[in-house]
Amino acid sequence: MSKIIIPDIPKICKSTTSHFLKYFKANQKPQDAIVFLEGGLELPFYDTDGEYLFRQESNFHYLFGVKEAGFYGIVKMDGTRILFLPQLPESLQIFLGPNLRPEDVKRMYGVEEAYYDSQIEEVLSKLNPSMIYLYAKGVNSDSGSQPAPIRTKAVYKYSTNETELHDVLFEARTVKTKEEIDFMRLAINGTAEAHRACMKYCKPGMYEFELEAEFYRVAYGQYGMRNFGYFPICASGNKGATMHYGHAGHPNRKIMEDGEMVLMDVGTECHRYATDLTLTYPINGKFTEQQKTIYNIALNCNRGCEAAMKPGVKWYDIHELSNKLMLKGLLEAGLIKGDLEEMYKNDVHFYFMPHGIGHLIGIDTHDVGGFNLGIPRSDNCSLKKCRSNRVLEAGNIYTVEPGIYFIPFLLESGFKNEQVKKYLVESEIRKYWNFGGVRIEDDVLVTEEGVEVLDKNVPRTVEEIEAFMKH
């Protein structure tokens, strides 16, 4: 039975445009200035005749929501939006369906005006903007990448600003509008349901990819979420210690053995909004004592972080809190020894959790703006893994994803490190050598008062998981 999620694109994009214009201080700009954005193009498989399913450029998607390739768009300072669509040859209709016309585009995307891309120069000349703001220069703090060169040379007949727009767009996107939040809540719920189905489906002896396929059966087959914003990580046993397992070299092809856990870090996109949840559970539905120990420490980190999150709190402090809670748990479990603060200062936590506590999520899985405020990134080996150093605001959506991993080469390096080895109880740690890892990842909205966990319908405690998986 379909529970398809259908976005109201005009409504979402009107909300994001108006939100963006506030951040852009549009009312302080010359009123004949414009923002000019270029949509994405089709992407072939190398020099073959195949191609990737089209994926829109993220900022263009943010303001226009256009599903098709080859578009251009203008946002005026009063919020008016103009789209330009490619004029395709008539014969292409045989392959792609009836060609869109400007009136279709106005209706589908709720923009005030629409023209063919051949009319860009003419429209620009009528608008005669005193300034054209372009998404042309700036750095994505997660990838280090910069925008593609501007294809539309005609814009350079006018005064252009190539730097301001990038960071304002990124900053605006860190705080979601009500319409985005409502939509992401639906998408994350769909992803949570797909995870629940996997928990019911999971059995020893299956290949990991069988869970991936089961996930997709529900996420796409029921909720209509066709694309993955990142490749699914279905990591059983010791594979759970590989953060991005599931890539082309390790395509979720291990058999899931009785007694192991599986770490499922999987989320589909919905109208290009990402979801990103991780569940870790025993493949046979019943935790061993070892698994329970580690799982409960991770869950305590996850719950501790969520309880501490609210506007005004620094993301770095959440990362620190999680790692200290983990150290406390590992200490109680006898895997490490020594003074907590001293261990933290010596980066002992890094040997068990070598990644950041979470990241902004939105149109991109690692959503933009994590370092937009000019606060420098820490160069501490643990803190520098954080994908954000912001101070939390209502409307942020962050993943909260503490993990505890037993990564042999990393722990071996710890055993050899003069500063660290004295805190590690090697004999105990070696009992977990093939354990893999646990990660517990929620998608969490920061509210005025605290947080709303958007995936609250997934079983999380040991008791909930065991009860849910009992057949």
Which of the residues 38 through 67 are near its own copies (CB under 8 A)?
40, 43-50, 52-58, 67
What does the DSSP 8-state code read for residue 432? Answer: G
Nearest one of 261, 310, 308 to 436, comparing CA atoms: 261
Give the residue with the Cβ less far from its own copies, 29 or 254. 254
CA quadruple 149, 150, 154, 158: dihedral, nearest 10: -100
Residues in the chain, overall count: 471
Q: Residues 23, 116, 158, 231: which binds its own copies (CB under 8 A)?
A: 231
Q: 296 is written with which tokens?
A: 């409960």
Does 226 contact its own copies by CB under 8 A? yes
User: Could you count the other beta carbons within 10 Å of the beta carbon of residue 109?
Assistant: 21
Cα–Cα distance for residue pair 423/421, rounded to 1 Å: 5
Cα–Cα distance for residue pair 208/156, rounded to 1 Å: 52
Question: For residues 446-465, which are near its own copies according to CB under 8 A?
Answer: none
Does 217 contact its own copies by CB under 8 A? yes
Give the residue with the Cβ less far from its own copies, 116 or 220. 220
Part of the chain binding its own copies (CB under 8 A), chosen from 222-230, 336-344, 422-430, 442-450: 222-230
Give the residue with the Cβ less far from its own copies, 231 or 468. 231
Does 345 contact its own copies by CB under 8 A? no
Amino acid identity, residue 336? I
Q: Residues 129, 229, 358, 414: which binds its own copies (CB under 8 A)?
A: 229
Does 355 contact its own copies by CB under 8 A? yes
Part of the chain binding its own copies (CB under 8 A), chosen from 22-30, 227-235, 282-290, 418-426: 227-235
Question: For residues 256-315, which are near its own copies according to CB under 8 A?
Answer: none
Q: Residues 87, 160, 242, 290: which binds its own copies (CB under 8 A)?
A: 242
Q: Which residue, chain included where needed, has tokens 């252009």?
A: 160
Cα–Cα distance for residue pair 471/467, rounded to 1 Å: 9
Q: 402 is written with which tokens?
A: 């503490």
Nearest one of 427, 285, 302 to 357, comparing CA atoms: 302
CB of 132 to its own copies, least distance (A): 20
What does the DSSP 8-state code read for residue 237? Answer: G
CB of 466 to its own copies, least distance (A): 25
Q: Residues 167, 193, 210, 442: which binds its own copies (CB under 8 A)?
A: 210
CB of 128 to its own copies, least distance (A): 30
Report in angstroms the alpha-carbon separations of 97 from 9, 93, 94, 325, 356. Answer: 21, 5, 6, 56, 45
Give the residue with the Cβ less far from its own copies, 285 or 437. 437
**Total residues in contact with its own copies, by rule CB under 8 A:** 73
Report in angstroms the alpha-carbon separations of 72 from 120, 147, 318. Answer: 9, 15, 40
Note the helical H segments in 175-249. 178-201, 208-219
Give the residue with the Cβ less far from its own copies, 287 or 435. 435
Cα–Cα distance for residue pair 280/403, rounded to 1 Å: 10
Show the site string, 375-414: x = touches its own copies by CB under 8 A, - = not: --------------------------------x-xx----
Q: Residues 15, 16, 17, 140: which binds its own copies (CB under 8 A)?
A: 140
Does 204 contact its own copies by CB under 8 A? no
Q: Residues 129, 147, 240, 329: which binds its own copies (CB under 8 A)?
A: 147
Question: For residues 94-113, which are near its own copies according to CB under 8 A?
Answer: 94-98, 100
Is the Cβ–Cβ distance between 368 and 174 less than 8 Å? yes
